[in-house]
Amino acid sequence: MEKRDKNISAMSTPAIGEAGKTGDWRDMKPVIDHSKCIPSVKKRAACYLCWLYCPEGVIKTGIPVEIDMDYCKGCGVCAEECPAKAITMINEGDDNG
């Protein structure tokens, strides 16, 4: 238990998923085509514009790039901004898109 200042009566503690699993909000989901994605093709850290522009911060910069689907709200900014057009938005539940 974190030490608390006795003068503070109401203090919130930080936690991931404050609004629950916000992945539930999605109607479209992003799917990465790794044969086009620049870090996967070049096999080194590069581009990462999806990470840069993700309003949620749910994209992980690695090789390959990964999206945390538990919290991705499905806004589609990554698909719009991807310079290689490697990300497409498909309907939720449509898995072989």
Partner 1 sequence: MPENIFKVNEEEYMLPGNRACQGCGLSLAYRYALKALREDTILTIPASCLTVLHGLYPTTSVTIPCLNCTFASTAASAAGLVAGLTATGKTNTTVVAFAGDGGTYDIGIQALSGAAERGTDFIFVCYDNEGYMNTGTQRSSATPMGALTTTTPILTKEQNKKDMLKIMEAHDIAYIATTSPAYPLDLYDKFVKAKRIRGTRYMQIHVPCPPGWGYPPRDTVKIARLAIETGVFVLFEVENGKFRFTGRSKSLAEKGNRLPLINYIERQDRFKKMSVEQLSRFQKFIDNKWHEYIKKAEA
Q: Kindly list the residues in this chain that would bind partner 1 in the complex (CB under 8 A).
A: 10-22, 25, 45-49, 52-58, 68, 70-71, 73-77, 79-81, 83, 89
What would the two tokens of residue 79 be?
């698909």
Can you read off the two tokens belonging to residue 56? 């949620």
Smallest gap, in angstroms, from Cβ of residue 77 to partner 1? 6
Q: Which is nearer to partner 1, 32 or 89 (CB)?
A: 89
Q: What is the DSSP letter of 44?
A: S
Task: Name the residue type at position 9.
Answer: S
The nearest distance, CB 69 to partner 1, in angstroms, is: 11
Nearer CB in complex with partner 1: 7/35: 7
If the CB atoms of residues 37 and 89 are measured against partner 1, the closer one turns out to be 89
Q: Find the shortest distance in angstroms from Cβ 5 to partner 1.
A: 11
What is the Cα–Cα distance from 59 to 57, expressed in whole angstroms? 6
1/66 Cα distance (integer angstroms): 33
State in angstroms the smallest separation of the CB of 95 from partner 1. 21
Residues 24, 22: Cα–Cα separation, whole Å: 5
